[in-house]
Amino acid sequence: MPPNLSARHRDLVRHFDQLPDDAVVPTAVTAAVRNISPRTVLRRYPKVQLSPNRIGQRVGTIRKMSRGEV
């Protein structure tokens, strides 16, 4: 797990398997779960606007892309 993640983001990574498919996680969490850079996440994964300055991805989409279904 990257050392620069906040405590909240580390908690989301640890409990990723328990999150519902409709949950939206920040890009940093997606990058940590998939072990890729945040820039790669932004290029390859569909974005969900969390706030004017924050972007995230749906947990269900991350799981599908991990399995190669999308």
pLDDT, averaged in runs of 10, over the chain (70 residues): 85 96 96 95 95 94 93
Q: Which amino acid is at 21?
A: D
Percentage with pLDDT > 70 across the chain: 99
Q: Is residue 2 part of a domain?
A: no
Q: Check if the beta carbon of residue 46 is closer than 8 Å to that of residue 27.
A: no
Q: Is residue 58 part of a domain?
A: yes
| Count of structural domains within the chain | 1
In this prediction, residue 50 carries a pLDDT of 86
Return the structure tokens found at 47: 């974005």
Q: Check if the beta carbon of residue 55 is closer than 8 Å to that of residue 43.
A: no
Q: Is residue 56 part of a domain?
A: yes
The Cα 20–Cα 18 span in angstroms is 7
Q: Is residue 31 part of a domain?
A: yes
Q: Is residue 46 part of a domain?
A: yes
Q: Is residue 1 part of a domain?
A: no
What range does the domain containing 33 cover?
A: 7-67
